[in-house]
Amino acid sequence: MKYSQWDYINFIQGKMDSEKAASFKKWMATEEGEHTFHKWVEEEWKKECNDYEDLQVVDKKESKFVYLNSSKRIEWRLWAAFISIFLIASLLLFNGREGNLPEEYKTEIKITEVLKYAPKGQKTRIKLPDGSYVYLNSESSITYLTDFSDNRTIFLKGEAFFEVKSDPLKPFTVITGPISTRALGTSFNINAYEEQLDIQVALATGKIKVSNEVNGQELLVDPGEGIDFHRHTDMMSKEKVDIQKVLNWKNGILQFEKVPFPQVIKTLERWYGVDFEVKNQKEMPQYKCSGTFEPNEYLSNVLSVLAYSVDFSYTLQGKKVILEFK
């Protein structure tokens, strides 16, 4: 019996009925099944790598909206990013032939999840197994698998700056909700705090491809450009960015540029590791604040400056800030 690529995917997703799954698993344990599976993986991996060659040769005038023609292709591109996981899964499936596996597969077959987190008031630099670096902003986290050197895929919550070690054969992918950012060797920033209306991607060096898995939209990005994903419309747009301003947080500089005051409070909570209590929240003005503060600026100084434009009083009680509008 012959199986299609969607049979592989349905089996891995647990969508195959029990009778067919049992038959499929037996076939996968045969020499024919193993050979077919690995040939399929190799072909799809080559296709994916060919797609990334576009990052090197695309003309700037072609850097615009590109739509995939099939919803199946959107799903398939996601699975291609996890090919190395499937290779390990195939070894697990071949339990009937486990005795023939090399000893190192038996001891290193387990794949676990790694979580790195920067709590409120802290920022951290993380060296990944492939030699890349991640700078995590406050109250942000990344998750990846222990086979990361083979499958360079990261899930991000919050904000981070990535310095990616070049490896043309293993694209580096950062997933933030419906947005995936893919690179070969480059540096870029992603701001994806959940309470914000947009997910923002900004490129410092190299070239990246940002994909919208909701509708298949894809954009190629050059240095000094950024992507805004609008959560309320599920659409992306490209714009020029000041990368130095984007990276101020990484250099310890706190900056607001026409930021609504409720968002200012949320940022200060993260930056200083405190909690705000607003006494008369209904009176909170909808001012948009601007200001730049040097590294290691005291919270009391920041609040005093903000109080000139937003009329409020404050009290500091350890890790708690009590705010009252006048």
- DSSP letters, 111-135, are --EEEEEE-TT--EEEE-TTS-EEE
Q: Are residues 40 and 119 in the same domain?
A: no
φ, ψ (nearest 5 deg) of residue 122: -135, 150
Q: Are residues 310 and 224 in the same domain?
A: no
Mean pLDDT by 10 residues, the chain (326 residues): 65 68 74 68 54 44 34 41 45 44 49 90 94 96 88 94 91 92 91 92 95 90 95 93 95 92 92 91 76 93 89 90 88
pLDDT at 200: 96
Domain of residue 122, CATH code: 2.60.120.1440
Separation between Cα atoms, residue 203 and residue 201, nearest integer Å? 7
Q: Are residues 236 and 263 in the same domain?
A: no
* 79 inside domain: yes
- Closest among 192, 155, 186, 193 to 171, alpha carbons compared: 186
Separation between Cα atoms, residue 60 and residue 116, nearest integer Å? 36
Q: Are residues 261 and 235 in the same domain?
A: no
* 293 inside domain: yes
Domain of residue 102, residue span: 5-108
> What amino acid is encoded at 301 in this protein?
N
pLDDT at 42: 57
Residue 152: CB atoms within 10 A of its CB come to 25
* 19 inside domain: yes
Q: Where are the beta strands (DSSP E) in the chain?
A: 113-118, 124-127, 133-136, 140-145, 153-163, 172-176, 179-183, 187-192, 198-205, 208-212, 218-221, 225-230, 235-240, 254-260, 275-278, 288-293, 312-317, 320-325
pLDDT at 326: 75
Boundary of a domain, candidates 73, 108, 143: 108
Q: Are residues 127 and 224 in the same domain?
A: yes
* 122 inside domain: yes
Q: Are residues 100 and 125 in the same domain?
A: no
The count of structural domains within the chain is: 3
Q: Are residues 156 and 136 in the same domain?
A: yes
Q: Are residues 119 and 233 in the same domain?
A: yes
Q: Are residues 88 and 66 in the same domain?
A: yes
pLDDT at 37: 67
* 247 inside domain: no
Boundary of a domain, candidates 214, 242, 270: 242
Q: Are residues 210 and 276 in the same domain?
A: no
Q: Are residues 121 and 236 in the same domain?
A: yes
* 168 inside domain: yes
Task: Write the CB contacts of 123 (distance below 8 Å, at least 6 apart in sequence).
Answer: 135, 136, 137, 138, 249, 250
- Closest among 298, 297, 295, 306 to 256, alpha carbons compared: 306
Boundary of a domain, candidates 89, 108, 127: 108
- According to DSSP, the residues that pair with 259 across neighbouring strands are 289
